[in-house]
Amino acid sequence: MKAITYYDTPERSDYEVILRTKKLLIDDFEISQILECFPELAVVLNENREIVAFNKKALVLFKNFTEDEIYGKRVGEALGCIHANDEEAGCGTSIFCRECGAAKSIRTTRIENISEEMECRITALNISKEFSLDLRVTTSNIYLDGLRFIIFAIKDISEEKRRLALEKIFFHDVLNTAGAIHGISSILQETDSETTIKEFSSLLENSAQQLVNEIQMQRDLRNAENGILFVDIRTRSVNMILSDVHSQYQNHSITKGKLIDVKLLDPDIEIQTDMTLIKRCLGNLLKNAIEATESKVMPIEIFAVETTDKILFNVKNQTVIPEEVQRHIFYRSFSTKEKSGRGIGTYSVKLLAESYLKGKVYFVSTEETKTIFTIALPKKFRV
Ligand SMILES: Nc1ncnc2c1ncn2[C@@H]1O[C@H](COP(=O)(O)OP(=O)(O)O)[C@@H](O)[C@H]1O
Ligand SMILES: [Mg+2]
């Protein structure tokens, strides 16, 4: 019975044939050297798109398999693509493969005999955890002993994509705030009314502060992602952190008509941390809590809990997050809010607090507990 395919050819080679080809390629010193010259994963595929040679860098992405297991697999199978086993004939034969840049690139090279380059996003499973790879794929034909093979190489462009997405959000937010500042200053210039001047000066102050925050946040996030964020660890009062964050948001325009309740520790205790970063992280959580709260009757709380070796900073609000939304929290660019260019708040909190403050960030959100986001920081920061 012929195997089913919704895209590329389903035929598979005998493992013995694969091993013979593998030997042929391993004995060819030049091919091995060429493969190692690629900066990232590069593999050689046979006519059935099965891997018959690969470079050392490929092992990083094929980490679920031993070297022997990789031979004879197709690229999606070796990467752990979630569609690789949709059909019996494997990678390249499912209905989803029609949209896969890697599958299309291989097919074009094979059928049209030309080199091809395409982008693709592969969702893969690594020990039951899903992760996404944004790749630029190139495919070219090579001939050896009269046989045709395809060299398949990738460049991981996840970073590039993320940077572009973050930049877009940054420009969007900063332009909005700068626009607000511009608008308020025009009003101030045209009015003589004392009350208008008073009201709008304080709005101006808020928006200017927000602009500075947004720029600093972007700078920190970029440095954090590049691994060059400078962390200034000093001994700090927990109550000072809580009350600073509280007062920054209590007078913020988004808080109008809502109540933020700060509970201070009695007695106060000290913690070794970076004051600016923890305040920025808590500020982001508080902003989400404020945005999720509709009225004064639903108080927002910010408080700390002491354990033996940690301080748990908590931000609580009364709105429960729907389950399908909960699954996406902490992912970059995920947002349920209307304004486009959102969705880096929880992502940046996790990145900054976990990679730079040696903390843990998590949340609960149920009818009983309501929504509580927690940043757990060690009392003593050990390098
Ligand atoms: N405290 C909270 N209460 C309710 N929903 C929340 C809370 N924090 C985050 N969320 C949900 O998580 C999403 C992602 O939050 P975030 O990463 O800060 O991005 P953004 O606030 O820009 O949407 C929000 O759009 C919202 O749906
Ligand atoms: Mg947010």
- Each of the 383 residues of the chain gets a pLDDT tens digit; together they read 578 999 999 999 999 999 999 999 988 888 999 999 999 999 999 999 999 999 999 999 999 999 999 999 999 999 999 999 999 999 999 999 999 999 999 999 999 999 999 999 898 887 667 778 889 999 999 998 889 999 999 999 877 877 777 787 788 779 988 998 999 999 999 999 999 999 899 889 888 988 998 898 888 888 887 888 889 999 999 999 999 999 888 877 788 889 999 999 999 999 999 998 999 999 999 999 999 998 888 999 999 999 999 999 999 999 999 998 898 888 766 777 765 446 678 988 998 999 899 999 999 999 999 999 999 999 999 87
Instruction: Collect residues with CB below 5 Å from ion ligand 2.
Output: 288, 345
Contact 271, 311 (CB under 8 A): yes
CA 86 to chain centre: 26
pLDDT of residue 1: 58
pTM: 0.62
Residues paired with residue 235 on neighbouring β-strands, in sequence order: 272
Structure tokens at 331: 């992912």
Residue nearest to atom 26 of ligand 1 (CA): 336
pLDDT at 112: 96
Question: Which whole-number Å values give the CA distances from 231 to 223, 311, 376, in the listed order?
Answer: 11, 18, 17
Residue 311 β-bridge partners? 306, 377
Which ligand 1 atom is nearest residue 347's CA?
17
Q: What is the pLDDT of residue 313?
A: 98
Q: Which residues line ligand 1 (CB under 6 A)?
A: 288-289, 292, 317, 319, 321, 325, 329, 334-337, 342-343, 345-347, 371, 373
Q: What's residue 237's pLDDT?
A: 97
Provide the pLDDT for residue 333.
Answer: 62
Ligand 1, atom 20, lies closest to the CA of: 343
At 193, list the tokens: 């009314």
Taking the CA atoms of 244, 246, 247 and 251 in sequence, report the sign of the dihedral they define.
positive
Please report the pLDDT score of residue 58 as a whole number: 96
Give the per-residue pLDDT at 342.
62
Mutate which of 172, 288, 339 for ligand 1? The one with the most ligand atoms within 8 Å of its CB, which is 288
Ligand 1 atom 1 nearest Cα:
289
pLDDT at 164: 79
Nearest CA to ligand 1 atom 8: 288
Lookup: tokens for 27: 């004995």
Residue 282 Cα to ligand 1 middle (Å): 13
**Which of 346, 351, 366, 367 is the pocket-test mutation for ligand 1 (most atoms within 8 Å of CB)?**
346
Integer CA distances (angstroms), 163 to 59, 203, 225, 231, in order: 26, 31, 9, 22
Distance 239 CA to ligand 2 centre (A): 23
- The separation between CA 348 and the C-alpha centre of its own chain, rounded to angstroms, equals 9
Q: Which domains does the chain have, with CATH numbers?
A: 15-156 (3.30.450.20), 159-229 (1.10.287), 231-383 (3.30.565.10)
| Residue in the structure block whose two tokens are 């398999």 | 65
- Closest approach atom of ligand 1 to CA 334: 14
Q: If you take atom 5 of ligand 1, which residue's CA is the nearest one?
A: 321
